[in-house]
Amino acid sequence: MTHAILFYCRPGFEADVEAEFTFKADIPGKWEIGQGFCIFLPKRPADWDKLYRTLECGDWVFPRQIIFVVEALDLPPKDRLTPILTAIDSLHEAHKGPWRDVWIEYPDTNDGKEISSFSRKFGALLDAKLAAKGLANKPDAKARLHLFFPTLERVYIGFTRPDFSVNWQLGIPRLRMPTDAPSRSTLKLAEAFMMLVPESGQVKPGMSAVDLGAAPGGWTWQMVSRGCTKIFAIDNGPMKGSMAIHPSVKHLREDGFKYRPKSPVDWLVCDMVEQPARIAALISDWLVKGHARQAIFNFKLPMKKRWNELQRCLEIIDDALDGAGIRYQIRARHLYHDREEVTCYLTKIKR
């Protein structure tokens, strides 16, 4: 039996997952690196058990999903179902189900997409077999069964706790591009509200906001659609579509680093292309001086040592807010709709 931890991520970010895990967990073991995923094999089985009980995917930046693997199989080309069912029947009693769902998954790569049609057919077949045994589709079950196929000849069998994991297959939320949004960047902010902002922190009708680096208006559109009635869109470039004429939007052609509102606003959002440390200092200044209560913003990270650069930026924010005596909460995540950036949500906490 194999005890491992499987991480899904954006292709090219495997080293960042490893760097984050080493920083946060720092337990002995070895890594196997794929494309769009990586696998950690703990040296001590007790570490696997401890992490299964405590590790929440929502607390991590670069992994899209974290699977606790209990078996790895090489599969014959003509009959994949039989060895998988045999392996499931042979699982330790603690892992035998029943399960809330059965998910068939694959890497988020071009090669992985070729497995998607197989996964739909195979998933329905496996689901039926397990449901007949009373092992699948149990809404009150405490675990979800995952079968991850890096190729059609290899499968990893593992589990997640639904309360500790991301509730989308492949760890990817499915968002539809709004027909009237000025740019696809609106999806980044929509995903940020889904993944990072708690219910208590969501936009309420009548709130005010500032969008730094607003043009052409994708993030402004998102704030309007969520109920903001006064939005200052700060950018020397033009706003497009409905955001150029919307009555709730005031477009100011000003420098995003110099602009400050005359009165405090409820929200600051920022997707400017700039050095991460400058963005960290800018956002810190807004919250320290009381210009906004909460913010969503992006760090455009370098291609190498992304985790180290993110840590540097978070330290800038901590030094500024802690130095001003401000209690705060911050969450950071490499979202599906991000590219080389990490999105953060920052809010003040009342004493």
Do 4-171 and 186-348 come out as alike in CATH topology? Answer: no
CATH architecture label of 4-171? 2-Layer Sandwich (3.30)
pTM given for the model: 0.93
At residue 1, the pLDDT reads 56
At residue 52, the pLDDT reads 87
Question: What string of pLDDT tens digits covers the 351 residues of the chain?
Answer: 579 999 999 999 999 999 999 999 889 999 999 999 999 999 998 999 888 888 888 889 999 999 999 999 999 988 999 999 999 998 888 788 899 999 999 999 998 988 988 999 999 999 999 999 998 888 888 899 999 999 999 999 999 988 889 999 999 998 999 999 999 999 999 999 999 999 999 999 999 999 999 999 999 999 999 999 999 999 999 999 999 999 999 999 999 999 999 999 999 999 999 999 999 999 999 999 999 999 999 999 998 899 999 999 999 999 999 999 999 999 999 999 999 999 999 999 986
Q: For residue 101, what are the contacts with CB-CB under 8 A and spacing of at least 6?
A: 136, 137, 144, 145
Label residue 53 exposed, middle or buried (CB < 10 Å: 0-12, 13-18, 19+).
Answer: exposed
Using the structure block, give the residue that is written with the tokens 């997707």: 271
Domain extents in the chain:
4-171, 186-348
Measured in degrees and rounded to the nearest 5, phi and psi for residue 285 equal: -60, -40
- Please tell me the distance from the alpha carbon of residue 284 to that of residue 276, in angstroms, as a whole number: 12
Of 129, 138, 240, 300, the catalytic one is 300
Tell me whether residue 258 is one of the annotated catalytic residues. no
**Mutual angle of helices 218-225 and 186-195, in 10-degree steps:** 50
Q: For residue 304, what are the contacts with CB-CB under 8 A and spacing of at least 6?
A: none
Distances (CA, A) of 21 to 14, 34, 344: 11, 16, 19
- Please tell me the distance from the alpha carbon of residue 102 to that of residue 88, in angstroms, as a whole number: 12
Using the structure block, give the residue that is written with the tokens 């939320």: 173
Tokens of 126: 């496996």
- Please tell me the distance from the alpha carbon of residue 336 to that of residue 170, in angstroms, as a whole number: 10
Q: Please answer whether residues 330 and 314 qualify as being in contact, where contact means their C-beta atoms are separated by less than 8 angstroms.
A: yes
Query: How many C-beta atoms lie closer than 10 Å to residue 288's C-beta?
Result: 16
At residue 244, the pLDDT reads 96
CATH topology of domain 186-348: Rossmann fold (3.40.50)
